[in-house]
Structure 1
Amino acid sequence: GKAECHFMNGTERVRYMQRYFYNREQFDSDVGHYVGDTPYGEINVRNWNSDAERLEDRRASVHTYCRHNYELCTPFSVEH
């Protein structure tokens, strides 16, 4: 899988995406739940979306993963 953070205007607008390529499943913080693009992916995301703790963890990733890493990396990326 792959996790991505998209920043617009610093951290004013942040989007977190997590993608699993094999079964084409993804979580998009703008959508707020997992989406599957294949029949097997749809089965997987149905289970993942029924897990409230898992969804809350993914939704919180905007702050815990994206914003946290932005603040760590910005001094280096702005200076170079």
Structure 2
Amino acid sequence: MDEQIKIAEERREARNLRDRLARQVLQLHPDIKEDPDGFPIDLDWIPVGTTEAAIRSLARHYAKQKLIRRILNERKEAQGDV
């Protein structure tokens, strides 16, 4: 049981590190968020500890959140106009 807990903690720490590094890449190259699947990512941008897939996945998440916010704002404005 203790070993399983240790393994789970190590996985969580690795996942947190991977995501933190991916967020750093997106801060340096915010254009990736505009076209997560089509924007060319230079392999030199990817630090050890994260992956291109993690960067693109996080960029897709940010793009989806931006779209949701835009739709909600449009609905709010439309309701105010009625």
TM-score above 0.5, yes or no: no
Higher relative contact order (CA 8 A, sep 6+): 2
State TM-score, norm by structure 2.
Answer: 0.34
State TM-score, norm by structure 1.
Answer: 0.35
Which structure's residues are more often strand, by fraction? Answer: 1
Q: Which is higher, the Rg of structure 1 or of structure 2?
A: 2
Which structure's residues are more often helix, by fraction? Answer: 2
